[in-house]
Structure formats: C-alpha cells, structure tokens
Structure 1
Amino acid sequence: MRIVSSSLVAALMVGLAAAPASAATEDRILPGRLVVGLTPAGSADTVLARIGDLALGSRPVPGLNAIVVDVPADRRIEAGDRARGAGVRHVQPDVKVTTGVVPGDAAKAGSLETNRVAGARTWGPGRAGVLVAVVGTGVSPAAELPAARIRPGRDFVGGDEDAADEDGNGTAVAAVIAGTGDSGVCADCDILPVRVQGGVADGNAVDLAAGIVWAADQGARVIAVTGTTDFPTYLLKDAVAHAEAKGALIVNGSGSTGIVQPQHPGNYGDVLTVSTVDGSGRKSSNTNRNNAFYIDVAAADNLYVAGRYLAGSSASAAVVAGVAGLAFAAKPGVSAAQVRDAVIRGAIPSPEQSYDPPILDASYVLNAIGGADTTAPVVSTGFTDGQALGDWIEVRPTVTDDHAVARVEVLVDGILIGERSRPWDQPVWIDPSVGGAGSRTITVRAHDYAGNVGEKATTVTFDTSAPAVTIDSPSPAPFLRNPVDVVATVTGEATRVYANGMPMTRLPGTDRWKATIQVRNNAGPLFGVTAYDAAGNGGSAAFEGRVDDAAPTATSISPGSGARIRGTATVTISGVKDDVSGVGQAELWANGRLVGRDTTAPYSVKVATGAYSGNVDLVWKLTDVAGNSRTYSRRVIADNAGPSVSISKAPANKAKIKGTTRVYVKASDPSGVARVELLVNGKVVARDSTAGYVLAFNATKLKKTMKVQVRAYDKLGNVKYTSTRTWYRK
C-alpha cells in the first residue's frame, strides 16, 4: 500500500467546521458544492433536512452512495456542519480536476522504444474485446483510431451518451493506447470513451469519480484516467475501490506541473501512477516529482499522434495503459494485480536519482504475462573469421529474437569484457592491447526475457601495429595557399589514407599517396594525414603552418585619379596591410612596364616621365609572403610641355620705342597657366598671372638696344618662350 500524504485532509475531509482554507486551497475548491458520502443506512432526504434552507438543490453521484448538494458559496462550511451526523460517512467540497499536459515539441519528439514497446507487440497487437476506458475530455475518431474501434460511451459533463471530444486531448490519449500509427500501442484493443472534463483544465472530482465507476461497470479491463487533483477526496477513493473490485486496472498520470505533492486518484489503492521521461530516460522538465514515492513508473511522452505532439503525463499514462491492454489480450485470465506487478517488477531503474520512478519495460511485461518462449536469440558478432582488428574495437552485434532481447554479453577468449542490458544495442569496446596481439576469439552471448541464450563466436586477429606516415609535400613553410597538393609516404600495410578527412590516392607501384585538399587555420596543426591498416590501426602525421588565401589590401593611392604630373613623380600607395602572412612587396607598373618595387611601408616608387605627355596607367601589385597578390590601378596624366604663348599686340621687331611700353600676350595650357613674364636683355621686367595678360615697362630706364622675349609657365612648372624681338630706345 502507498503512504498517503494528506496535508489537507483535516481541512477537506474532516474539519469543515475549522478555520477557512487558504487562498490557494480556495482556488481549487468549487464554491457552492458539497459532496456527502452516505452509509448503507444513510438517507439523502435526512441529510437535506439537516441542511435545511441552505440546500439549494441536490443530485446523486452516479454509481456511488453519495449526493452532491448545492449550497450558498459563502455558507459552505456551515452547510457542511449541518450535514454531518448519523448515516453520513464524509462531507467535503467538490474540487477541480485538470489534465497533465504541456505543449508538444517536435524537436524533442519521444518514441515508444524508450519503453521497448516493439518487443511487447510481438506477442500480438492486442485483441478486440479488451476494453480500455479513456476517462477525460472524451474521444472522437481519428486517422489512427477508426470509429469501429470506439465503443458507445457516456458524457458526464453534458449528461448524455455523446462522449465526443471537443478538446482533442482524450482523442490523442486514445490514439496512443490503441491507435494503428507509429505511436499506437495496442492496435486491436477497443476504446470506451468517458467524458468527465470539458477541457484539460475543466473538470471536477464528482464527474471523475462517476466516470471511473461507470467505466468499471461496463467491463473495462484498463481505465486510463487523464485528470488529477492534489486534494484527497473520499469520493475518488471510493471510485477507485469500486473499479478495482470489478477487476479493472486504473492508470493515472502524475501531473505535469513540476510539483512533489501527490496527485489523486493516482495515490489511491493500486492505481498505476505514471510520470514522464525523455528519450534518454531522464525526467521531462515539467513532470511531477516522486519525493513522496507515489509514482510507480515513468514512460515516454511528446508522441506524435492524431495530428499533434501529445506531451505531459497523460501521454505517458496512455503508453502504460496500452501496454496493460496488450497484457490482458495476451493472457485473457490474467488479473489486474498480476499486470500491475509485472509493470512495476520489470521497470528499469532511473539513470538519475534513486527515488525517481523506474522506466516501463513493455517487453518485460509481455514476457512475464504471455505464453511460453523457448526460442533462443540469433546472434552475429559483426566480424568474420580471420578478420584483423586493431586500435579500440567496437563490438556492435546483430541480435534477433522472436520477442525481445534483454541482455547481451561480449567475451574475449571466454573472459567477460562487457555487457549491455535494456537497452542491449549499445556498443561494447575492446582494448586489443590488453592480452596482446594474435589470434583471439570474440563471443557474443544474448539473453532474451525468458532466459533463452544464443551465442556466436568468431576467431579474429588482434593487430596493434599502426602504419607510419611522413608528409613529403608541401615542404615545411610558415604559410600555404589553397588548394594544397599533399603527398605522403606511408610504411606498413595501409588500406586507406586521408588528408584532412579527404581520401588520398596511392601512386602506382609506390608507398606514396596524394590528394589535393582545402585547408583552413585552426588552433592546432594546419592539416594532418592519417593512414589505417585493415585492422583499423591508425598512424598519422601533422603539418604545422598557416594558410593565407587573402591578398594584401590598401586604402588609397597618391597622386589621385586624373592627376597631372611632370618629370619624375613619386607615387605612393597607403593603408597597405595583410593580416596573415604579411606584405612581401609592392611593385609599381606604368603603362605596362615595371617601374620599381618597395618592400617597406610607406610604399613609394618614383616614375620618370621624361618629355612624354599623355595618359599614364599606373598599377600597384601588392604581394604577401604567401604569394597572394592584388592590384590597384590609377590613371594620371603626364604633362611635360610648356604653355602655348604668343604676343598679340606689341611694337614690331626693330621698332623704336620710348617711355612706357605695353605688350599684350595670349597663353594657354591644359594644366593651367601659372604666369607670363617679359624679359628684356635677359631680365624680367614685368609679369602677369591673370588671363588677358598685359606686360608693361618703362623703356627710358633701359639700354638703347633691347632684346625682348615673353615666356609662360604652366602650373606644373613647364615653360615656353616666344621668339626674340629687338627694340631701340629713341
């Protein structure tokens, strides 16, 4: 028997005349409704007479010797005190009932193989006539649950025979129990729908108790109850006792709110209470905890069924109910107590805390309940006689059985190396260095749930010598560029060689292997070559270095695009950097000809344009240490010709002048005219820098004979002279 934790028993079962319950308690109580349990000699009329004017209405609880009395919500305790007396077993408020569900999650999809259901199904898919009641939100047909498999039910919410599901939870639960899909357990079992909740959060203890009793009276062998309450109620306790007396096995989810408070009816009688686990057997995040030791087993949830993922304890309870249905189908005369015992006795201990519920093993249950099994498992070690094995050896045998395998042992030369059980299909590893190289016998021995043993022995060779690897190419270098051509010498009987995981090809007639690979920088070696022999022994070598596939970059070039230069100009490229191997050199090309190179920042080269005028196409080629290069182009204009200059108005050659004389000049240049100057006898006597140039001088102060020229400068410094004129002073 369970230890019943009942911190609220005094308030809910006995002490209705005591102080009011806490606010949290009141939230779970249905106001204005009393449940009065009667003795065999008790009378509803007597109770109602005692309550008097506080009795606003009453009705019997179907199937149980109890009545529900409607009373003023604010005078419930007073009405309860009046009701107590001869013929009354208990007086309690009715309480809310909810179903343990959480949102389904495709990323965490569960599987029936967490509970080894496939092995259980080998005893048969169930049997028509094995009736499993689903007491919850009702049941409607679904793709995995045809209408022909749903028996006529009852609706205690609406008070009629239509138990259709308006919520979806009950249908999904039924599809897990008896569906034909991947998440269905007992595909040939029949479903009895009992609607006691309008939705997963909309139920009460009165309807739930009545539904349990009715399901038992209809001959249900398994009663799957989806709803729970954390308040102890005599009514639910009586309903459980009634159903168990009828031979039914009740299965109830533990709830999915993460609390430790025992839930009801799961804490009554021999109800199988079920919590949830994920695929690794660890508690689901929202499952209720077993600190009070009232949860019997755990099962998978988050199962895809009826077009949704059903998660929470109602899903896990459905798995257990389906397995119970398989058990009743496999052995018609089996009792509920025998099925319950097989479920609990065969459960696998939790991988977490010792008090966490053990995990349902459906294969164990059906083997314990089903008929005789005298067929031993059929075993293959996964190896062939004479096969060479080395390094750590993974033993992953193939084992088949007419029902299910419980345990597998691996032996080497008769000595047990390791075993796996429930699940058995996890690998066992052998260290071939223990015991040395040579001929050895690996034996795989498999046990089924009935104790039948099958085994297979294979004689193999342990070889622990690995091939030796030397990387011949590339030669040692601090930096490489992709793709990398790799050549390696492998000594030993290598059967496969990889460079950075890419298969290498053997060069015919040699022990050398080659491959072209892509590499990238990481914290360790740049790449490695690994060679394996037939036994799986691996030898390797690593290449240290870094890869540099990115060429240097720059931010600007001086002079700028379209700039005009003359003579010898200095060209500079700025902001040059290379983050991996570093800048090796910067070369400058002009009109396709290498002008010069620089190896240190700032990178500058002089370009001599001589007498050339015209476009100059400059190209900087930046190369890093690894050999990556990038070019930057710029077009400038060489201008090495002086301005066009002429005298537009002035005294003629050999003219005689006196006083102030003016010379009018025209000058132009693509680079712009900087100034024009008038020279007399080689000396500048006037200059002008504004177009419409006028040069004036006083002849009185100069020699009688004057040699006169005009010269013009452009803005780059190029100069041009006019022809010389001779003037005479009067």
Structure 2
Amino acid sequence: MLRTAVIAALSSYLIISLAGPAAAAADVTPPVVVSTGLTEGGSLGTETILRPVFSDENGVAGVDILVNGVFANSFIAPSGEWDPKTWEWSGRTRVGGVAGVGDGKDVDVTVRAWDPAGNVGSRTVRVRTDFQTPTASSITPDESVTLGAASVITPQGLPADTARVTLSYWFDSDAPVISTATAPPWALTWDKTGMERRAAVYVRVEDHAGNAFGYRREYQVDGVGPDVYASTNWIPEVIGPGEGHVAVSYYNPKDVARIEWWIDGALRSTTQVAKYDFGNVSRIADVEARVFDAVGNVTVVTRKVRVDATAPTVTAVTPAEGALVRGEKIWTQFKATDASGISGGQVYYGGGSAPFEAVRESPYRVSVPFWQGRNEVLWEIYDRLGNVTVVRRSFIVDNNAPYFTVIKAPKNGAKVKGTVKVAASVSEEYGIARVELLINGKVVAKDYAAAYKFSINTKKYGKKIKFRLRAYDKAGNVTTSPTRTWRR
C-alpha cells in the first residue's frame, strides 16, 4: 500500500518526458508548450503523471511547474538539452506545496519551458484537485476461502470515481497484471490451473486522478482436479448392446464433490457407476466423465466406446443339417468368429426348453443323448458382449446295420469253374452306400447301385476260393455275409 501525504497544499508526483530539437546558436523564439499533459477540466491527484509536449528549434533546457501562478517545482536537463533517446524522467518527482490549495479545489497548472537562450514559453490548464485515496469496503472472497482453478476476486464498495482495478502478484504500477476491470462489478478473473499452494496477490484500486490504494490478500489455491482412475475395466473400449455400465474410480473420495456422465452429447447420470442404454446398433459412442471437486476443478475423462451389437458369425455346426451319423456317442460342435471374441455357447437337445449343456472354451464340443432316427440340436452362441446367434440342426442317427441276403452264389464247398455270377439283396432305412466283393480276404470289386451283382473269373484266384460280400449303409454301418469256400 502506497500513500502520498497531502500537506496544506498541492502535492503531486509528476513524470516529465521532454523532447525537442538540438539547441541553436542564435535563438529569440520562445519554446511552444504543445500540451501540459493534463486535460482541461480534468483531475489532478497524488499519483498524476505529467507528460508535457514541447516544440523548440533549439530544444528545451528546463521546465517549471506553477500552481495558481505560484512556483511548485522545476526540472533541469542534466546535459543541457532534452534527448528522449538517452534520458527520460522516469521517476516521480515531488512538487513542493502551494499554500491555500487543498482537496477538491479548482487550480490552474502552468507548464513553463525555457530554452538554452533563456526564451520562455508556457501553457496553463484548469483542473480539480483530488487527493482522496480510493478504497474498498471489502474484498471477496475472504482469505479463509480456498480458491479453485477459475475464480473471481471482487473489491466491494468502491467510490464513484474509480477508474480501474487490477490484480497482480505484487503491488506496483509496473507489476505484471493478472486481470483488469474498468467498470462495475469490478470482477477480476484469476486462472490458477495447475497451481496447488498458498499464493499472495494484490488488488489495486485507482481513480481517475491517478490516486491508488492496494490490498494484499493471501489464499490457499487448489487448481488441480481430482485424481481419477478410469481404465478399460471401468470404461470398456467395447460394450454390448442395450443397457451397459461405465464407471470411474478416484484415489481420495473426499476430493470429489460431484460426477457428471455425458454420453452421446447429453448428461445421463451423476453417480459413480452410470447405467445407460447404448441401443442395438453397432456404432461409436462418445463417453465423457466429468469429476468435480469442492472448489470447481474438474478432471475430464473421454473415451470413444465401440458399441458391438453384431452377433457371432457361425462358420460350421456339426452334425450338418440332414447328416447321417452313427456311434455310441453323438457329438455336436460349433465354430464361429466375432470381433469381440466368442465367450461360448449352450446347446438344447430334442426341443427341450432348458439348455442341455454349456461350453465356455474351444473346441465348443458336447456329447448329446440320441435315439435311432431323426434328432435335433439347437445352439445359442454368444460373443463376449452378450450378442447371440441361434443355430438349429436336424440330423439322423443310424446305428442299424443293413439287412443283407445273398440271393445268388455257389454254395459253400461247391466246385466252380470259369465265370461265377453272384448277387445280393441289401436294404436299409436310410440307404445303402455300397456292396463290396471280397475274395480270399481282399476287396476285388464294388457295386454302388442295386441290385448288387458281381461276375467272378475263378481262374484268377487259385484252387481254393474264399468268397464274401460286405454291405455298407450311408451312415457307415456294415454287414458281412458268411464266408463260402469254393474249390476249382
């Protein structure tokens, strides 16, 4: 805080900046005071700065200041001439008091300049004295308040002639200014983002006469948002269709005053764990968590979340539709792909309403009960986000061997020669695949169509010929005729 005493007369701090051409050898022309640096009808205060403007062909050697015609002070160029490039009056020089001049008075201020030849020129303006220091009734917020990253400091109860207020880190007219206000409500903004400590600032109040008063305030500053933890376990990169959950965690719950969840551009929740219907269309959703502390600092977490509403693509299911299968165990299996991964499946058997068995790991294979004839399985195949593909397969279980009769062939023990004709009658509910002719334990011919006839050149097989027929149905069941031995 700076104070300038006013004795019984005018007391003013003045800075005089003078400039003019170099002095001439012969000079009878007085300097011209182009401007006193004051405004006619303006104010003259304890901090008023005078910057007169002169014109003289040989320059100005000195300046006198008179108030109501009474000498107040003088300024002399140290080198005999004014050269603003090398020397300026940059300090405030006190002008002596003038009797009878007090606060709120109209006074005539004369700037009188003289050149090296002694020629004198002057200019006078009338101004009103103002020696009242501008003060504030209070500064808000109070020093007991902790300030957030963005806050406003406001001086209250300022006088009507206040010209401006400034906020700075120290009190001086040349101090770097944080914020300036030139009209009510005199709000001074202070951005303290990233600052977390005690900090002192100064509020400087200035009136139109240049009078000033300063206030020091020290605040606890918290310009850092809450520490927020939001890994993909809390906000997943991919989420399933329908209602999903997103959440954040924080290291110190006392630091958190409130939470806002902005999803798809709108406020959806104010709880730590937010529930939201992401719909049933695959897309990219904008998810943003805003976590506020008690002084308004906010930590923002943004994510691009992929909504996966696409069910798995099934590449294979066994048994295939309409397949003929056989065996003591019947296995059903699926293969599928999905961008989010396959979590498993569950199989329903024989039209049952409850799943027969669930599988969670590849190769996603299950042995199911069965009966002879037509059977059915239904697979529900899930990806990791709950999307499901349903696949139904009907198949036939055939564990019955073909019905087999040799209807034409030499009898067992018969003597044969030349070419022998044999034939068989074979039947099966789901079809015959083939009939094979075996001579001496080797397959020598196959017939794939009824009525399953073979011609045997006995000369090719030695003196003793062992004959059999073997029939396969389409499920792979087999029936073999009894062996007949012939002699040639």
TM-score normalised by L of structure 2:
0.42
Larger Rg: 2
Q: Which is richer in strand?
A: 2
